[in-house]
Amino acid sequence: MFRILKQSLKTGVITETPPDLADAELERIGVELRRTIEARLGRSLAIRQVDAGSCNACELEIHALNNAYYDVERFGVRFVASPRHADALLVTGPVSRHMEMALRRTWRATPAPKFVIAAGSCACTGGEFGVSYASCGAVENVIPVDVKIPGCPPSPLDLLKGLLGALRV
């Protein structure tokens, strides 16, 4: 127990210490995001992430949003386990044809009004994989997309900016 307390205290609150420019920007975007979410949705934005065929690097960066540096939950952004609890779908990857139906069904299970955010170059354009016998390419080829966040993979900061954009559409 003491070891844990010691380490936690020693680490301190890293979230609010902007060590460089990027973090200052993060703070600014985050606060703005928070305001927009409050105005648009009341209190929070519930996101269901769907990997529709990604190489898994996009997932790694979405995960990073939850680390203590970005701590995206403080802005009211939550990742939920079911599309039925979600305001938005965050979709990564080109949509593989084997995931096509699962993605459609997830979209149908999400209550309206709903946003769809395509995250990563693959989700935006098909990226390195494009359209083929195995891939439908961009997410918008399968379900309507509101916002695109390009990048291979998009950095956590790009993702935050994109979420902000999503709420403004």
Partner 1 sequence: MTGAERIRRFDWLSEYLARLEDEHVIAQHGDALALPPAHRLELDPEDWAPAAKVAAGMGLRHAGLWADCLDDAASTEEGPCIRVQACLEYGGDYLVLQTEVPMSRPLLASQATSYPGVARLERHAHDLTGLELTGQPDGRRWTRHQAWPEDRFPLRSDFPRAGETPGRTPADADYAFTRVQGTGVYEIPVGPVHAGIIEPGHFRFHAMGEDVLQLEERLGYVHKGIEKLAVGRDPAALARLAGRLSGDSSVAHAWAACQAMERATDCIVPPRALALRGLMAERERIANHLGDIGAICNDVGFAFAQVQCARLRELWQRRSLALFGHRLMMDAVVPGGVACDLTDKAIEELQRDHAQMKVAIEPVFDVVEDHPSLDDRLMSTGVLSEADARQLGCTGYVGKASGQGFDLRRDTPYAPYDAVAMDAPLMTEGDVAARVTVRMAEVRNSLRWMDRLLKVLPGGALAVDLPPAEEGAMGLGAIDGWRGEILCFVRFGADGRIARYFPRDPSWFTWPALERLILGNIVPDFPVCNKSVNGSYSGEDL
Q: In this chain, which stretch among 37-45, 47-55, 110-118, 159-167 interacts with partner 1, using CB under 8 A?
A: 47-55
Q: Count Cβ atoms below 10 Å from residue 123 Cβ, excluding itself.
A: 32
- CA 95 to chain centroid, in Å, comes to 16
Among 98, 111, 144, 168, binds partner 1 (CB under 8 A): 98
Q: Do residues 45 and 165 lie in contact, with contact meaning Cβ atoms separated by under 8 Å? A: no
Q: Is position 120 an interface residue for ligand SF4 (rule: CB under 6 A)?
A: yes
Taking alpha carbons only, the member of 7, 8, 32, 28 closest to residue 18 is: 28
Q: Is position 50 an interface residue for ligand SF4 (rule: CB under 6 A)?
A: no
Task: Identify what 101 binds: partner 1, ligand SF4, none; CB under 5 to 8 Å per kind.
Answer: partner 1
Please say which residue, 122 or 167, places its beta carbon nearer to ligand SF4: 122
Please say which residue, 31 or 134, places its beta carbon nearer to partner 1: 134
Residue 138: partners with Cβ closer than 8 Å, 6 or more residues away: 94, 95, 118, 122, 123, 124, 125, 126, 145
Q: Is position 110 an interface residue for ligand SF4 (rule: CB under 6 A)?
A: no
Q: Is position 14 an interface residue for partner 1 (rule: CB under 8 A)?
A: yes
Identify the helix (H) or strand (E) that includes residue 118.
strand 115-119
Task: Identify what 76 binds: partner 1, ligand SF4, none; CB under 5 to 8 Å per kind.
Answer: none
Residue 9: partners with Cβ closer than 8 Å, 6 or more residues away: none
How many residues bind ligand SF4, per CB under 6 A? Answer: 13
Among 26, 29, 45, 55, binds partner 1 (CB under 8 A): 55
